[in-house]
């Protein structure tokens, strides 16, 4: 299977090349030329398989220049019991009709591990397949969870270096500590004086800077991304939606073929788009509930057809969704309206910060997607209610989606069952979860972990439990115009 750019002005490439480079030459994102299908016969067969085997089946449909055995080996290593426990992505029933898919049982307690534990393995294979002998420097802009998950995924992976930029005031204390204490010989972490979009724009700028490319090349280094714009990040995310559906069939919650809706707490639009690809492959997913916090650019887009990033940026209790530009939306647009219109809209977004779909295009979008946003108060109230009524402890991001799912049920008298992505352990955002439950502050950011645990009787995930004792190794804070020089000096060592 070949991959092409969403903007239509780059060459057709193999998946290894798409994964190696991340971004297409024309600034677009890579997409498979066609979407492979999943038949009910295949789904029936997959019922008996482990998560790793399901992953290999699905991923190999897209990565045809990898062998099935290569992908299976990587999936086994990525989703090993020592990293994810017995079940990498369990489905938990919250109440009748409402289920959450827990995607945070990996090493960093957030859903990005689902992709970032396997992606570096696919990536090193990609380097070999492309005959690449330079060192890859992975650049990541993060609003919190990606950074840690990427650091953990790439640490000490030979042939790679990883550099992470995060907004100095845009991540939680726990997220910051997770990154600051990261070990590994090939890692570097900088805090940026700015917000997530400053960090992301800086990374995009560096990627398109020809001088930097030449300088790095002279040092035997080239740039690549681990952000959700990389196809290697997206493809493993399709797996858990398919797998969760099979698990729901197998536990008798639904019948094979029964339609369900999917709710996803959305930032960059990667996770929800992976679910949508599942639908394009043939999964009976009907509606996608796109849940945002008060950074509700996507809600407005889905309601009006205008995407307008010219608005106030809010810092919220769900920082991984504090985003004004949802990069993966470009992929979704491409699937609906093709390369030419997508390139035009992306160009408008670049120059004017906004674009407006035609009525017909908006109608197409709304066939599958519906947007809701959740205020900070509603997020807190949802955490409390879900805990008190259903004995289910959820984090701030998951709460945004649970609120959206419930609003949708109310507004549309929805009868299909809803699978809601649960994207972080409540302990990763312990302070705000504690405050939501009790109305009072815990004694400190890191103390919040133990206090939340004793309040609820729920155990702290092991990697978070030891955080306070670890040594802080990365303290750099730099201006947003210093990102270039930081990259160049990291290439030296």
Neighbouring residues of 458: CB distance < 8 A, sequence distance ≥ 6: 393, 426, 452
Task: State which of residues 228, 296, 299, 378 lies at the interface with ligand PLP (CB under 6 A).
Answer: 228
Smallest gap from Cβ 237 to ligand PLP, in A, equals 8
- State the minimum distance, in angstroms, from the CB of residue 88 to ligand PLP: 16
Contact residues for 469 (Cβ-Cβ < 8 A; gap 6+) = none
Kindly give the pairing relationship between strand 30-32 and strand 2-5.
Answer: antiparallel
**Cα distance from N-terminal residue to C-terminal residue, the chain:** 37
Write out the H or E segment, with its range, that includes residue 269: none
Q: Minimum CB separation from ligand PLP for residue 422, in Å?
A: 9
Starting at the earlier edge strand, list the strands of the sheet with 187-193: 221-225, 135-141, 160-167, 187-193, 477-479
Q: Which residues, other chains included, contact 365 with Cβ-Cβ below 8 Å and sequence gap of 6+?
A: 302, 305, 332, 336, 357
Rounded Cα distance, 221 and 219, in Å: 6
Helices 68-78 + 119-129 axis angle, to 10: 150
Q: Draw the binding track, 390-409, toward ligand PLP (x: CB under 6 A; -: no contact).
A: -------x------------
Site for ligand PLP in 286-325 (CB under 6 A): 320-321
Nearer to ligand PLP, 46 or 114 (CB): 114
Work out how close the CB of 397 gets to ligand PLP at its nearest, in angstroms, rounded to a whole number: 4
State how far the Cα of 199 lies from the Cα of 104, in Å rounded to an integer. 25
Instruction: Indicate the burial class of 56 (C-beta count within 10 angstroms; 0-12, 13-18, 19 or more).
Output: buried
Minimum CB separation of residue 110 from ligand PLP in Å reads: 5
**What is the DSSP pairing of strand 260-265 with strand 285-292?**
parallel
Binding part of the chain for ligand PLP, among 185-193, 262-270, 380-388, 472-480 by CB under 6 A, reads: 262-270
- Give the integer Cα–Cα distance in Å for 395 and 489: 38
CB of 170 to ligand PLP, least distance (A): 13
Rounded to a whole number of angstroms, the CA Rg of the chain reads 21
Q: Which of 162, 235, 254, 424 binds ligand PLP (CB under 6 A)?
A: 424
What is the closest distance, in whole angstroms, from the C-beta atom of residue 395 to ligand PLP in the complex?
7
- Nearest to ligand PLP of 329, 487 (CB atom): 329
Per the structure block, which two tokens stand in for 310? 């010219």
Give, as ranges, the residues between 112 and 151 that touch ligand PLP (CB under 6 A): 112, 145
Closest to ligand PLP by CB, 123 vs 332, is 332
We find the least distance from the C-beta atom of residue 326 to ligand PLP, in angstroms, to be 7
The nearer residue to ligand PLP, 15 or 227, going by C-beta atoms, is: 227
Nearer of residues 268 and 379 to ligand PLP, judged by Cβ: 268
Binding track, positions 264-283, relative to ligand PLP; x by CB under 6 A: -xxxxxxx------------
Residues 153-212 that bind ligand PLP (CB under 6 A): none
Cα separation, 359 vs 356, whole angstroms: 9
Q: Give the side-chain half-sphere CA count within 13 A for 419.
A: 29
Q: Shortest distance, CB of residue 402 to ligand PLP, whole angstroms?
A: 12
Q: How far apart, in whole angstroms, are the C-alpha atoms of residue 349 and residue 310?
A: 10
How far lies 406's CA from each of 65, 99, 223, 305, in Å?
Answer: 42, 11, 42, 24
Instruction: From 3-11, 259-267, 309-317, 456-464, give the range in contact with ligand PLP by CB under 6 A.
Output: 259-267
State which residue, 125 or 144, has the beta carbon closest to ligand PLP.
144
The distance of closest approach from Cβ of residue 252 to ligand PLP in the complex, given in angstroms and rounded to an integer, is 29
Number of chain positions touching ligand PLP (CB under 6 A): 17
Interface mask toward ligand PLP for 43-72; x: CB under 6 A: ------------------------------
Q: Which residues bind ligand PLP (CB under 6 A)?
A: 110-112, 145, 228, 265-271, 320-321, 397, 423-424
């Amino acid at each position: 299977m070949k991959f092409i750019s969403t903007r239509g002005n780059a060459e057709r490439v193999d998946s290894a090349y798409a994964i190696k480079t991340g971004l297409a030459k024309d600034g677009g994102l890579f997409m498979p030329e066609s979407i492979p299908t999943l038949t009910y016969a295949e789904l029936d067969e997959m019922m008996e398989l482990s998560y790793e085997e399901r992953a290999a089946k699905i991923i190999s449909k897209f990565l045809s220049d990898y062998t099935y055995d290569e992908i299976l080996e990587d999936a086994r290593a990525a989703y090993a019991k020592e990293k994810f426990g017995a079940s990498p992505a369990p489905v938990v029933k919250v109440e009748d009709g409402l289920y959450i898919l827990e995607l945070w049982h990996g090493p960093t307690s957030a859903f990005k591990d689902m992709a970032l534990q396997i992606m570096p393995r696919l990536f090193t294979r990609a380097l070999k397949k492309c005959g690449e002998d330079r060192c890859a420097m992975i650049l990541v802009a993060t609003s919190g969870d990606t950074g840690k998950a990427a650091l953990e995924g790439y640490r000490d992976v030979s042939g790679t270096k990883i550099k992470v930029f995060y907004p100095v005031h845009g991540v939680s204390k726990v997220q910051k500590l997770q990154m600051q204490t990261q070990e590994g010989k090939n890692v570097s972490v900088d805090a940026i004086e700015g917000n997530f979009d400053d960090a992301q724009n800086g990374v995009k700028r560096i990627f398109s800077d020809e001088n930097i490319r030449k300088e790095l090349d002279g040092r035997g280094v080239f740039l690549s991304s681990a952000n959700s714009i990389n196809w290697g990040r997206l493809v493993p995310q399709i797996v858990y939606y398919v797998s969760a559906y099979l698990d729901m069939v197998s536990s008798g919650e639904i019948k094979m073929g029964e339609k369900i809706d999917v709710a996803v707490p959305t930032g960059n639009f990667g996770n929800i788009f992976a679910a949508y690809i599942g639908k394009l492959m043939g999964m009976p997913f009907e509606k996608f509930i796109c849940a945002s916090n008060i950074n509700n650019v996507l809600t407005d887009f889905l309601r009006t057809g205008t995407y307008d990033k010219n608005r106030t940026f809010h810092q919220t209790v769900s920082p991984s969704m504090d985003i004004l530009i949802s990069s993966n939306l470009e992929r979704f647009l491409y699937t609906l309206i093709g390369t030419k219109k997508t390139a035009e809209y992306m160009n408008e977004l670049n120059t004017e910060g906004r674009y407006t779909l035609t009525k017909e295009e908006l109608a197409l979008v709304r066939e599958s997607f519906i947007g809701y946003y959740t205020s900070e108060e509603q997020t807190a109230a949802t955490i409390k209610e879900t805990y008190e009524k259903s004995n289910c402890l959820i984090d701030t991001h998951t709460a945004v989606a649970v609120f959206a799912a419930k609003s949708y049920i109310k507004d549309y008298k929805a009868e299909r069952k809803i699978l809601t992505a649960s994207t972080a352990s409540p302990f990763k955002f312990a302070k705000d979860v504690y405050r939501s439950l009790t109305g009072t502050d815990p004694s400190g950011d890191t103390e919040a972990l133990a206090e939340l645990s004793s309040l609820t009787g729920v155990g702290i995930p092991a990697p978070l439990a030891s955080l306070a004792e670890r040594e802080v190794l990365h303290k750099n804070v730099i201006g947003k115009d210093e990102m270039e020089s930081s990259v160049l000096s990291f290439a030296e060592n």
